[in-house]
Structure 1
Amino acid sequence: MSLSAFIQRSIDAIAGARHLDQAISMSRFLGDLLWKNSVGQYELAQLESLLLQQYGGEFQPAGIPARRCEYLHVLTKAYDTGGHTRVVEHLLSSSALAEAGVFITETIQPNALRKLSRARYGCALSPKQAGSRQRIQHMIDVFAQHASIILHIHPYDIEAVLAAALAGKFFGVKVLLYNHADHVFSYGHGIADRVLEVSYFGWSLRTRRNIQYKSVFAGIPLKLPEQRIASESAGSSQAYLASAGTAYKYKPNDGFSFPQFVQKFAKVRNNRLVLIGPRLASNWWWWKTWLKLRSRVEFHARMPHDKYLDFLRQATAYVDSFPLTGGTAFPEIFSLGVPSFGVLTGSHGYSPADQLKSADVKALVRDLADFLAVQQRKGVETAAILAQIHDAHSIENVADRISYAYDLNKGEKQPPWQNPGTIDPCFYEKIWMSGNGAGMPVHTLPSFKLMWLFLVYWKQVRFGKKSDPRSPA
């Protein structure tokens, strides 16, 4: 079974659902499935349109709503650390997007609730224990009170997408999709009036998402220091190299191996490396390197963001994770005065700080060793890159780009810096193809019909086996 056949049969199965709740449940599962498996499907505008056609008539505008405020940030789940929560927290502090409230469609953790409740118009949660029709109608009523809604949703949140589309139809509400997880599938691309891009990587996928005409670069907002701070590790006998990221970002793949880089670098320099995030006990790809280097490689658990920044600020140099990039950690650490290094893997493009990265692992070893020998980075225009980082990531600049998303001309829509290296839009697809298994959804209830269709497709892709394409009754 081909990918297109799997997608079409999945849509047909959802189209044949007995009622709205079943169609939503199946759609959520399909979205979660495509999120966890990089099969090359990045949008499903066809399904969004089908659901609106089949079930849009079940919803009605409840009169003319009173306008509450200009913007509403819509999140599926708000966590205490990282992700969309920090993005929204930063945007709420801006001048351009100050007239805003927050709405959570599923769950929020305590610290996130405390932070997001600081929004000028508060933070509200969708009512629990309601069916899909009630939840969607409630969201329509809430969205209708705002001129624009900004979706910071989980990729499977089809209910928020349908509610946004209907709020736009009934009340003229503008819908912006903040494309934070731009390397994976997500619902919302079909119904959004503007897609707010955050990287060259997401920019490279516009054609495959059919959103060329409505993509606008916004960027990821960061709380940056006004001036670059000198690294606190200079001259310290306890100085160390550092790297930080979720454990799986270091798992070797697609010809890139961070553990092998550590071994190669250890032959050139005797510096200690401290890793925040990887777990020696469970990440088998680190075992060989640790057995060879022992105390020269240290592993630390993830820590609160402020403590994490303080810890990294004291490093002699920072090395970004690969094969998968650490994302905004890289420009954040560099802006704190820590010399920063990395590799252009093809999945980069999230910051002007990528200009600090090396073309390959061999060059990274050389560039890092040369710097440590003289404590000076040759051939790098540090001040110019830092200025570009502020332009791309400062909270006010990102908020301004979002507020002007409908007014920008074509030349101003793309990322505002020159991207080094070539983006590989199939990067994550190749990693998925080289894996041993399929990722199973964890946020949604299972649909056994769709799971069966996916396993038929997966077996064909992985093993070339021909299976009966007919779904069981």
Structure 2
Amino acid sequence: MRGEQKKNMALQIDGALLQSINACRDANKLFELAEYYGKFHWLNTTERWSCPEIENFIFALIAPRLPEFKATGNRKVISHVISEGYDIGGHTPLCVNLMKEQKRLGNDVQLVITRGVTPTVLEDVKASGIPIAAQQSTGVSKLLFLAQTFMQSKAVVLHINPDDIIACLAAMIAERAGIPCYFVNHADIHFSFATSQCSAILEITGASWLASQQFRHPKAQSFLGIPFSTLDGAPQEIRHKDKTQEPYFITVGGPHKYRLGRSPVFTDFVEVLCGELGQKLKMIGPDDYSKFSHLSAKAQNNLELLGTVERTKTLKLMANATAYIDSFPEGGGTSVTNAMHLGLPVFGCKSKAGMYGDDFLSQTPQELFAAIKLFIEHGPDSETLTARARFIKDNFSITACAKRLENTLNGNMETIPYSFDKKAIDLTFYQKKWLETDDFYIPPIIKINMPSSPKA
């Protein structure tokens, strides 16, 4: 199912879920339905970017039954709220590293977990001396826990999953009690709850800023940006070429970003890069060679799938690469910033996102092939790479991003520190691409107006 047929089906499912939410009066079931609604639009990259109507409807239903929440006096702690924390991707380190830097700068911070994080993330936060607030609860119990935790906070910074309606509702309670909440727009191409309920949206790119203005109903916006990652506290020393290795290109991203098995666009690219051009490519994230089994023997021999790789090793592998290939058709964020900071040539094929330096992007695979062939023949533009690395170092260090956050918390909204071509950005690029595929997540059928079953 594709195109208009797929779009119409999405609208029908949207309507069915809205009807179910409207008819439901059991709070726990209502939260589940709203999560399904959020997940449906998030995983499908539909044209729905936000839905304050659902948030306000649910809040109006539950507010009369909630206890009175009052903010405590002398609040100092900044609560960073995460739904789920992982060992891969840029979402978790953005949250954790911001907390660490704020703590280093003298702020009281804590991590609030609404669902769960990996043992590695947990140990990292504990080792940093940052308090953790978490409770094994669901539904109304979780909402009460989060709301009470927020009442003791100077400010709340949401790094939540797009479908986390309970964290959204807790933020609404906090905002009404005079505690400012801020939404980190990390899933910037997707639907998300809470964007219109917070005091400001913290934006990561020019495209996220424009999309929020057009689709997310923000009270205010402030630029946060995507910080580059460091290695052993000495980012300038990361790049030591390993002379024993053959030259290789590298790309980093979750398997879903390459649409493997669902779209031929990236595997076709691998055939050209590794087969026709004979270049080595290391992929961090994907690990299923069967997705590339139709490629030529030469292409397969030059391709290395590394699967999940620990972040420090990822940086080292990137540092020794010839060039970086941004994941596509869905592009990356943190890894692109890291690549530029490392002085790597960067190539990609997607719509411009208003990131700094996104002139590296090609609009078609043919343009991408031509750009890489030119690079192989003539080498990198060292002047451009040096300028990019310097700008990233000055404007996208974790310290620079943390200071922008601090200014925002003090009421001073930050602007984007670079210029970009607004006309070159197609805000609905990914929504159009979704309509071209057969991918379709449909929520499981659940009973309406029945008490929720306890979760394990």
Q: Same fold (TM over 0.5)?
A: yes
Deviation per residue, 1:46-104 (Å, 9 max, x gap): 11111111111111235552445331001112223434321121102214573211111
Report the AA paired with residue 67 of structure 2: Q
Deviations 1:121-162, CA, capped at 9 Å, x for gaps: 50111242x5x2222122111100011101111111111111
Task: Note if contact 2:278-2:298 (Cα within 8 Å) is conserved in structure 1.
Answer: no
Q: How does 1:445-460 map to 2 (within 5 A)?
A: 446-447=445-446
Aligned residues: 437
Q: Which of residues 327, 337, 345 is equivalent to 1:340?
A: 345
User: 1:254-289 deviations in whole A, cap 9, x for unaligned?
Assistant: 998233233334576433223233344442xx3333
Q: How far off its partner does 1:43 sit?
A: 0.5
Q: Cα RMSD (Å) of the superposition? A: 3.1
Q: 1:110 aligns with which of 116, 119, 130?
A: 119
- Read off the aligned partner of 2:435 and give its amino acid letter: M
Query: 1:448: how far off?
Result: 5.6
Aligned mates of 1:138, 1:230 — CA distance in 2: 45
Structure 2: state its 5+ residue gaps. 1-7, 450-456
CA distance in 1, matches of 2:106, 2:445: 38
The 5-angstrom pairing of residues 39-118 of structure 1 reads 39-62=46-69, 65-95=72-102, 98-118=107-127
Matched, 1:384 2:396: no
The question of whether the paired residues in 1 share the 8 Å contact of 2:44 and 2:441 is answered with: yes
Q: What is residue 319 of structure 1 aligned with on the other side? A: 325
Cα pair 1:72 1:100 within 8 Å, conserved: yes
1:396 pairs, out of 389, 399, 408, with: 399
Report the CA distance shift for 1:236/1:363 in structure 2 as closer, same or farther (over 3 A): farther
Give the residue type in structure 2 aligned to 1:166.
I
In structure 2, relative to structure 1, the CA distance for the partners of 1:254 and 1:310 (3 Å cut) is same
Match of 2:246 in 1: 238
| Residue 125 (structure 1) aligned with residue 142 (structure 2) | no
Residue 332 of structure 1: how far off its partner (Å): 0.9
Equivalence map 1:301-380=2 (5 Å): 301-337=307-343, 339-346=344-351, 348-349=353-354, 351-377=355-381
Say whether the 8 Å CA contact 2:87–2:310 is kept in structure 1.
no
C-alpha separation in 2, matches of 1:352 and 1:272: 27
> Matches of 1:174 and 1:360 in 2, distance apart?
43
Query: Normalising to structure 1: TM-score of the pair?
Result: 0.82
Change (3 A) 1:281 1:270: closer
* Alpha-carbon offset, residue 22 of structure 1: 1.8
Of 156, 165, 182, 1:158 maps to 165
8 Å CA contact retained: 1:254, 1:323: no
1:195 aligns with 2:201: yes
User: Structure 1: how far apart are the matches of 2:245 and 2:228?
Assistant: 31
Alpha-carbon spacing, 1:236–1:8, altered in 2? closer, same or farther (3 Å): same
The residue type equivalent to 1:31 in the other structure is G
What is the CA distance between 1:387 and its match in structure 2?
2.5
Pair 1:19–1:172, CA change in 2 (3 A): same
Q: Mind listing any 5+ residue stretches in structure 1 that lack a counterpart?
A: 451-473
Quick check: 2:203–2:221 contact (8 Å CA) kept in 1? yes
Structure 1 residues 313, 238: CA separation in 2 closer, same or farther (over 3 Å shift)?
same
Structure 1 residue 12, shift from structure 2 partner: 3.7
Q: Which residue of 2 aligns with 1:17?
A: 24
TM-score scaled by length of structure 2 = 0.85
**Cα distance in 1 between the residues matched to 2:219 and 2:130:** 32
Residue identity opposite 2:150 in structure 1: F
SS at match of 1:405: helix
Please list the CA deviations of residues 322-364 of structure 1 after superposition, one character each: whole Å capped at 9, or x if unmatched: 2121321122133224x32213511533x42423344543343
* Identical-residue share of aligned pairs (%): 23
Change (3 A) 1:9 1:317: closer
Q: How far does residue 246 in structure 1 lie from its aligned partner after superposition?
A: 2.1
| Distance 1:272-1:80 versus aligned 2 partners, 3 A rule | closer
Mapped contact 1:392–1:416 kept (Cα < 8 A): no
**CA 1:446/1:98 → structure 2, altered by over 3 Å: closer, same or farther?**
farther
Which residue of structure 1 lines up, in the alignment, with residue 454 of structure 2? none
What code does the residue aligned with 1:100 have? Answer: V
Q: Are 2:266 and 1:258 aligned?
A: yes
| Farther-moved stretch of structure 1 (314-323 vs 119-128) | 119-128
Distance in 2 between residues matched to 1:237 and 1:376, nearest whole Å: 19
Q: Given that residues 340 and 346 in structure 2 are in contact (C-alpha distance below 8 angstroms), is that contact kept between their aligned partners in structure 1? A: no
C-alpha change, 1:220 and 1:446, in structure 2 (3 Å) is farther
In structure 1, what is the equivalent of residue 453 of structure 2?
Answer: none
